[in-house]
C-alpha cells in the first residue's frame, strides 16, 4: 500500500516537473564544456592577435579599461574585468545592467556587453553582445528558463527540489525485494532481448539508479544557486563542524602612493607578481566602496581554488586575504559549489562523467513519460474489453 502511494507521488511529481528537468539537464550538458567550446568557436575573441612568444608586459589596467570603455555605447559602464596571465589571452571587460524585477531574459538585462582587449597593445579585438550570445542564452535557459531571475529562478529551483524528491522516491521503488539471483541481476543489468516497453522501463530504472548520486549532487548544488536560504543553512551547518582557526592577520601594504598611483594598477601588478602562473583573475569594480578586491583563481576550471585579496583604497593596505584551503568547511564547500555542479573538480574526466550523467537525467523524464503513456493505453484496452 505504501509503495503504491510512493509510486503515485513519484509519477505526478515527474509529470509536473519533467519538461523543466529535461530542459535544465540538456542545457547543463552543453554548459559543462562551455569554456572549451568558446575557445574553439571564438578564437578571435579569446586569443591575442600578436605573437604570444614575445616577452611583453601588459599595459596598465586603467589604460586598458579606458580603451574598452570607448568601445561601448553611451551609458554602458564596465563593472568587471576577467584577465588571464597567459601571454596569448585577451582580457575581458564586462559591462552589464539588470532589472531584478523584470520578467523575461531580454527585460532582465538592460544591456550586457563583453569587450575583448589585447592587454599588450590596447587593441579592442571584439565587442560581444552577451545578452544574445549562444552560450549565455544556454546558461540563462539552464538557470531560469529565460524568464528572468525573479520568476525563472523560483520555477527552476522548485522543479529542482521536486527532482530531488523524485530521485529518492525512485530509489524506494527500484529497491529489489531480494538481493540475490535474477531479481538482483535485473535491477542492475539490461536485457536487450525484451520488448520495447520493458526496455524503456529498464532504461528508466537502471539508468536512474546509476545516475542517482550525481543527480542528487546536481540537485543540491542547483538549489544552492537558486535559493540563498539553502546556501546559508548548509554553510552554517558545515561550518559548525569546522576546526579551522584563523591566524593573526599581518598583511602589510603594497607600494602605493595616493594621488600619484592608481590603486587598481598597483594592486593588479602586485597580484600578478605573486601569482604569475594563475589561470585567471577577476576584478569587480567598486567605485563607491572603500575596499577593492581581486580574486585569483589558481587552477584552470577551478573556481573553488583561489586567493582573494582585499585592498584599502585610501592607503593601499591589504585589508584581508582569503585562501580557499584555509576556509571553514561550509565556506569551502560553498566556494566549490560551481565546480561540483559542472564537474570541473576533477579535471576533464569528471567533466565527461558529469556530461554523461546530465544526459541520463535528461532521459529520465522522457522514459518516465513513456511508461505513463503505456500504462494509460493498457487501462484503455481493459475498459474496452469490459
Segment 248-257 mean pLDDT:
74
Segment 233-255 mean pLDDT:
77
pLDDT (tens digit, 9 = 90+) per residue, 209-218?
999 999 999 9
Question: Taking the model in full, what pTM does it have?
Answer: 0.91
Q: What angle do CA 86, 83, 300 make, to 5 degrees?
A: 60
pLDDT (tens digit, 9 = 90+) per residue, 85-140?
999 999 999 999 999 999 999 999 999 999 999 999 999 999 999 999 999 999 99
Segment 362-366 mean pLDDT:
97
**In sequence order, what are the beta bridge partners of 47?**
89
Q: Note the pLDDT of residue 332.
A: 93
Quickly state the pLDDT bin for 249 (edges 50, 70, 90): low
**Percentage with pLDDT > 90 across the chain:** 79
pLDDT (tens digit, 9 = 90+) per residue, 152-161?
999 999 999 9
Quickly state the pLDDT bin for 290 (edges 50, 70, 90): very high
Burial (CB count within 10 angstroms: exposed 0-12, middle 13-18, buried 19+), residue 44: exposed
CA distances from 327 to 237, 365, 377 (A): 14, 38, 56
CA distances from 228 to 233, 287, 334 (A): 9, 26, 11
Q: Note the pLDDT of residue 379.
A: 64
**Percentage with pLDDT > 70 across the chain:** 94
Quickly state the pLDDT bin for 180 (edges 50, 70, 90): confident
307: cell is 586567493
pLDDT (tens digit, 9 = 90+) per residue, 72-86?
999 999 999 999 999
Q: What angle do CA 215, 220, 226 make, to 5 degrees?
A: 120
Q: Note the pLDDT of residue 248.
A: 53
Amino acid at each position: 500500500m505504501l509503495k503504491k502511494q510512493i509510486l503515485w507521488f513519484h509519477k505526478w511529481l515527474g509529470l509536473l516537473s519533467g519538461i523543466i528537468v529535461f530542459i535544465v539537464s540538456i542545457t547543463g550538458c552543453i554548459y559543462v564544456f562551455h569554456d572549451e567550446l568558446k575557445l574553439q568557436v571564438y578564437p578571435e575573441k579569446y586569443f591575442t592577435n600578436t605573437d604570444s612568444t614575445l616577452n611583453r608586459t601588459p599595459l596598465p589596467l586603467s589604460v586598458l579599461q579606458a580603451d574598452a570603455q570607448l568601445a561601448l555605447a553611451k551609458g554602458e559602464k564596465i563593472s568587471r574585468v576577467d584577465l588571464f596571465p597567459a601571454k596569448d589571452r585577451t582580457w575581458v571587460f564586462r559591462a552589464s545592467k539588470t532589472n531584478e524585477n523584470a520578467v523575461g531574459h531580454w527585460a532582465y538585462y538592460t544591456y550586457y556587453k563583453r569587450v575583448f582587449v589585447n592587454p599588450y597593445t590596447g587593441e579592442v579585438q571584439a565587442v560581444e553582445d552577451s545578452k544574445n550570445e549562444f552560450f549565455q542564452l544556454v546558461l540563462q535557459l539552464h538557470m531560469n528558463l529565460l524568464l528572468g531571475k525573479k520568476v525563472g529562478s523560483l520555477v527552476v529551483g522548485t522543479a529542482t527540489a521536486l527532482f530531488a524528491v523524485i530521485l529518492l522516491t525512485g530509489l524506494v521503488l527500484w529497491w529489489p525485494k531480494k538481493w540475490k539471483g535474477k531479481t538482483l541481476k535485473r535491477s542492475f543489468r539490461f536485457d536487450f532481448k525484451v520488448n520495447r516497453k520493458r526496455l524503456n522501463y529498464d532504461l528508466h530504472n537502471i539508468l536512474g539508479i546509476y545516475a542517482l548520486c550525481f543527480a542528487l549532487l546536481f540537485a543540491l548544488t542547483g538549489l544552492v544557486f537558486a535559493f540563498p536560504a539553502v546556501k546559508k543553512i548548509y554553510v552554517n551547518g558545515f561550518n559548525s563542524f569546522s576546526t579551522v582557526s584563523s591566524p593573526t592577520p599581518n598583511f602589510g601594504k603594497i607600494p602605493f602612493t595616493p594621488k600619484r598611483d592608481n590603486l587598481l594598477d598597483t594592486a593588479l601588478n602586485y597580484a600578478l607578481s605573486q601569482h604569475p602562473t594563475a589561470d585567471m583573475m577577476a576584478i569587480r569594480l567598486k567605485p563607491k566602496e572603500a575596499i577593492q578586491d581581486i580574486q585569483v583563481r589558481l587552477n584552470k576550471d577551478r573556481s573553488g581554488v583561489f586567493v582573494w585579496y582585499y585592498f584599502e583604497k585610501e592607503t593601499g593596505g591589504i585589508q584581508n586575504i582569503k585562501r580557499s584551503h584555509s576556509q571553514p568547511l561550509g565556506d569551502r564547500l560553498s566556494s566549490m559549489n560551481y565546480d561540483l555542479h559542472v564537474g570541473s573538480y576533477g579535471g576533464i574526466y569528471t567533466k565527461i562523467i558529469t556530461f554523461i550523467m546530465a544526459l541520463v537525467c535528461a532521459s529520465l523524464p522522457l522514459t518516465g513519460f513513456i511508461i505513463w503513456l503505456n500504462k494509460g493505453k493498457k487501462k484503455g484496452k481493459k475498459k474496452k474489453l469490459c
